[in-house]
Amino acid sequence: MPINKFIDYLKFEKTYSKHTLLAYRNDLNSFKEFVLNQYGGNDILDVSYGQIRGWIVFLVDKGISNRTVNRKLSALKSFYKFFEKTDTIKSNPLIGHRALKTQKKVIIPFSKKELDTLREYFVEPNTFEQVRNQLIIELLYTTGIRRSELMNIQISDIDRGNRTIKVLGKRNKERFVPLLDFMIRIVDKYLVYRGKIETAHNYLLITQKGKPIYASLIYKTVNNYFTLISTKEKRSPHVLRHAFATHLLDEGADLNAVKELLGHSSLASTQVYTHTSLAHLKEVYKKTHPRNKRKN
């Protein structure tokens, strides 16, 4: 089956994450179902661009955003590109396709003041969940790691001597991220509480029942705490990652250094975090440049 063959390629050769593999499979199955229902065909390797355009119209009419449609088409394009390379098809039907226009998505990071205010809620955490939640939020903000990376941290990944944490990023790429001294103290305090919970897992972060922590719990933890101190519409782990990058850049960190800390493969990915830093830079520029201080 073409879809299974492609997914195996992504899994074993490209080492994509389970989440990404599931997304690709769902998108391809969705297109296959559309082709079957609308055109009576069951071979998505033998379709025309016109049929793909019909799918695009179908998705848009359902109210699916252009951004999501583009993501689905990206999966489809990769699918055909794979079979084109293996000489299964002569050409990629999406080769000349242009992505649908989308509004630039701007994420407003949490401010330094908001993060300082939040720390007041963790002055004296004295239960397992309170200490764990503090660790979740502080790790996300002080290291800039992704939610999926946080979930996969093992206790052995923490190196107290070197003050680093080993992170398994996208496509199983490892990197080492520095840990601030106070983070070691939080980790040690958490491990005392964690040691009282029976568990068969070596993951750093677990639930009260000893199970590995899961994505929705991390999101819920971040959202619940920031609801207390922030009016921002978006309150997610990614906004903390955004705050990490933005605050480092605001303080003069080198863009290449931030790129390495975030685990990006190219600077283009890191540059999306610079828009708020540029705003900060403009403000400093206006306040400090001599020409702007002169009275007209």
Specify whether 264 is catalytic: yes
Q: List the catalytic residue out of 175, 211, 232, 238.
A: 238
Q: Which of 170, 175, 189, 232 is catalytic?
A: 170
Q: Roughly what angle, to the nearest 10 degrees, separates helices 237-250 and 275-288?
A: 30
Catalytic residue among 72, 132, 235, 241: 241
**Could you tell me the CA-to-CA distances from 155 to 47, 118, 160, 195, 215 in Å, in that order?**
49, 26, 11, 12, 18
Q: Active site residue: 32, 72, 132, 146, which one?
A: 146
Task: Tell me if residue 98 is catalytic.
Answer: no
Q: How far apart are CA 212 and CA 164, in angstroms?
A: 22
Please indicate whether residue 16 is annotated as part of the active site: no
201 is catalytic: no
Any catalytic annotation for residue 247?
A: no
170 classed as catalytic: yes
Catalytic residues: 146, 170, 238, 241, 264, 273
